[in-house]
Amino acid sequence: MVKKANDKKIIEKKTETVKAVLIRKKFQGVVASDKNDKTIVVNVDSVKIHPKYKKRFTRSKKYKVHDEKNQFKIGDKVVFEECRPISKDKRWRVIY
């Protein structure tokens, strides 16, 4: 068996510029604590439905959120988004 040079397939690689699209999670919640400097604790409630019994129930989770200007107080409604790690527990920052 003799192989010919034409039998080899050359694969050309395309170089395309790909723009990274950042999709950040956003949540809305109520400020539960503002005692730490530049940090607020936000309580986020979500409604779940039990798969078998179809009953609705509420789950809540607390997030530590970065508040640069210390402008939010307990009871305020805030919207916050995901960001780079700021500290051990803070990975969220306030939008408004």
- Residue 22: what pLDDT? 77
- Residue 53: what pLDDT? 98
pLDDT truncated to tens, each residue of the chain (96 aa)? 555 555 555 445 555 565 666 789 999 999 999 999 999 999 999 999 999 999 999 999 999 999 999 999 999 999 999 999 999 999 999 999
| 3-class SS string, the chain | CCCCHHHCCCCCCCCCCCCCCCCCCEEEEEEEECCCCCEEEEEEEEEEECCCCCCEEEEEEEEEEECCCCCCCCCCEEEEEECCCCCCCCCEEECC
Query: Which CATH number is 27-94 given?
Result: 2.40.50.140
Structural domain spans, the chain: 27-94
Tell me: the pLDDT tens digits for 22-44? 789 999 999 999 999 999 999 99
